[in-house]
Amino acid sequence: MDRASIMHVDISGNGRPVLFLHGGGVSGWMWRPLLDVLNGGVRAVVPDLPGHGQSRDTGYLSHDETVGRLAGLIRKEAPAGVLLVGFSLGAQLAIRLAADHPELVSGAVIISAEAQPAPMPRATLALLGWAAPLARQEWFARLQAKQLSVPGDLLAEYVRDSRGISRDTLLASVGENIRFTLPGAWGAFQGSTAVLVGAKERRIMRSSARTIHEAAGGSLLVVPNAAHDMPFTQPQLLAGVIHRQLAP
């Protein structure tokens, strides 16, 4: 079986193809506010990443394995290439796709990507493993949703995904996230790039944004009053960035 076909994928709209890659612990529904603003003006390809949402039974193994799946999805749905739009975990995957498969990628919008390894990853993952059962508690999921500024009409989806994620997927995806470093080939990527980070995000996120931008060029936007929540709080701004990236 084609590895890409194992992922759940929603496709909608017309126009140039854009692949939207969601963050960890959620799924493709997180792009709904942005897609509403885009109003069908792009051909939106929106997968649920392995281990998440309607792809939860597949399990998240690694960035390497997931990038392979996503490259297969692009070859199937948009062989001439796509604009990548990724948030957090999805932004790391977008960087890897652009670096590893530049022939499939016309440009990349990188939102809130961590590109510097976090200190003490083993201790972090040990604590996460201990706390993993909390993700299945609705009260805890609601607290986490508030941190991300998930709107009320999407809260049920967030709680469902938070309670449905497996311990293995949680540890694998977070482990990859906190150990991520910028691939050398990212600096050779010739497509257009836009890097965004919230002014209220953690220092490591703001520093990572500068590192990502300096390696590949393009544009860097530090968004005032934004935290780790831009797909929910800044859909108009993100739509504008996407339109500029798609402009001839």
**148 falls in which pLDDT band (50, 70, 90)?**
confident
Position 97 in a domain: yes
Position 152 in a domain: no
- Residues 17-46 pLDDT 10s: 999 999 999 999 999 999 999 999 999 999
pLDDT of 188 over the 70 cut? yes
pLDDT of 10 over the 60 cut? yes
- Residues 91-105 pLDDT 10s: 999 999 999 999 999
What percentage of the chain carries pLDDT values higher than 70? 90
Position 231 in a domain: yes
Cβ-in-10-Å burial (0-12, 13-18, 19+) of 238 comes to buried
Average pLDDT of the chain is 91
Q: Which domain holds residue 212?
A: 3-117+181-246
Report d(CA 80, CA 153) in Å as an integer: 35
**128 falls in which pLDDT band (50, 70, 90)?**
low
205: CB partners within 8 A, 6+ apart: 112, 113, 114, 197, 198, 228
**130 falls in which pLDDT band (50, 70, 90)?**
low
> Residue 111 CA to chain centroid, in angstroms?
8
Q: Of 68, 87, 75, which Cα lies nearest the Cα of 26?
A: 87
pLDDT of 168 over the 80 cut? yes
Q: Which string of DSSP letters, residue by residue, matches the chain? A: --GGGGS-EEEE-SSSEEEEE--TT--GGGGHHHHHHHTT-SEEEEEPPTTSGGGTTT----HHHHHHHHHHHHHHH-TT-EEEEEETHHHHHHHHHHHH-GGGEEEEEEES---SPPS-HHHHHHHHHHHGGGGGSHHHHHHHHHHTT--GGGHHHHHHHHHH--HHHHHHHHHHHHH----GGGGG--SEEEEEEETTS-HHHHHHHHHHHHHH-SEEEEETT--TTHHHH-HHHHHHHHHHHH--
Can you give the CATH number for the domain in which 71 is found?
3.40.50.1820
Domain count, the chain: 1
User: Could you tell me which residue, 4 or 143, shows the higher pLDDT?
Assistant: 143
Report d(CA 243, CA 192) in Å as an integer: 12
Position 164 in a domain: no
**141 falls in which pLDDT band (50, 70, 90)?**
confident
- Residues 109-126 pLDDT 10s: 999 999 998 776 666 766
Q: What are the structure tokens assigned to 29, written together?
A: 């529904």
Position 134 in a domain: no
- Residues 191-200 pLDDT 10s: 999 999 999 9
29 to 63, 153, 174, 231: CA distances (angstroms): 21, 11, 20, 11
Position 139 in a domain: no
* Angle at CA of residue 94, ends 13 and 54, nearest 5°: 60
- Residues 51-98 pLDDT 10s: 999 999 999 999 999 999 999 999 999 999 999 999 999 999 999 999
Position 102 in a domain: yes
Position 129 in a domain: no
Report d(CA 191, CA 94) in Å as an integer: 12
- Residues 217-244 pLDDT 10s: 999 999 999 999 999 999 999 999 999 9
Q: What is the pLDDT of residue 1?
A: 41
